[in-house]
Amino acid sequence: MLKSWKLKEVVLVSVLSVVFAVVYLLFVHIGNLWAGLIGPIAYEWIFGIWFIVSIIAAYIIRKPGAAFISEVMAATIEMLIGNAIGPRIILVGIVQGLGAEAVFAMTGYRRYELWVLMLAGFGSAVTSFVYTYFMSGFAMLEPGYVATMFGLRTVSGMVIAGIGGKLLSDLLLKTGALRGYAISRSGHVHG
């Protein structure tokens, strides 16, 4: 998978992972505070935040594995800098990364329009929900409540990760820091 990658692309992914690991950790704490009050549903509407690095990395580098590797790396670094969810977070990263990666793979890693990015956010939401369903014992909750959680998570994945990830990457592109990566060769530079 890494054969076609340049070293600077791998390092870029790891740097993005570090920045978003910090962001992810902040949102874990925000989610935790909420969760005490309104239960696990507190995480659902902000869940898209935790998929965003996949979308940004894939959109910038446009190579197989970018979505998956960035998410797993972000999860690992999050654990190393102090997420008490611990080693389990790496599995979460693997599961979420696979969801987005699958969508990019289905387009043959050729298309990076907004709808593909939103679909990738949707993909992460689906795979991560399956994981949470199992690990948190959602089978013991009312199906209607579980469905609401699922709906919130997919919308969040599409909006925060899909649209948010594209906006942020396009802004970064404008700063000129991404010259030399696939995104700047894509031809449709906005603004």
Q: In the complex, which residues of this chain contact other proteins (CB under 8 A)?
A: 2, 5-8, 10-19, 22-23, 29, 32-33, 35-42, 69, 73, 76-77, 79-82, 84-88, 90-91, 134-137, 139-143, 145, 168, 171-172, 175-178, 180
State the amino acid at position 129 in one-letter form: F
Residue 142 or 187: the one with the smaller Cβ distance to other proteins is 142
3-state secondary structure of 190: coil
Q: Give the largest CA-CA distance in the chain.
A: 51
Residue with smaller CB distance to other proteins, 2 or 106:
2
**What's the closest the beta carbon of residue 2 comes to other proteins, in angstroms?**
6
Residue that is written with structure tokens 């008490």 in the block: 84
Alpha-carbon torsion (29, 67, 169, 154), positive or negative? negative
Q: Could you tell me if 2 and 65 are in contact, meaning their C-beta atoms sit under 8 angstroms apart?
A: yes
Contacts of 91 (CB under 8 A, 6+ apart): 131
Name the minimum Å distance from CB 39 to other proteins. Answer: 3
- In 3D space, the residue among 125, 132, 116 whose CA is nearest the CA of residue 98 turns out to be 125
Specify the residue, 108 or 143, whose C-beta has the smaller distance to other proteins.
143
Q: Note whether 88 and 65 are within 8 A (CB).
A: no
**Residue closer to other proteins (CB basis): 108 or 191:** 191
**Is the Cβ of residue 111 or residue 159 nearer to other proteins in the bound state?**
159
Minimum gap (Å) between residue 34 Cβ and other proteins: 8
Minimum distance from residue 172 beta carbon to other proteins (Å): 6
Q: How far is the CB of 60 from other proteins (least distance, A)?
A: 9
Closest CA to 160 of 114, 101, 118: 118
Nearer to other proteins, 23 or 159 (CB): 23
Output DSSP code: residue 91: H
- Residue 123 amino acid letter: G
Report the nearest approach of other proteins to the CB of residue 65 (Å). Answer: 10
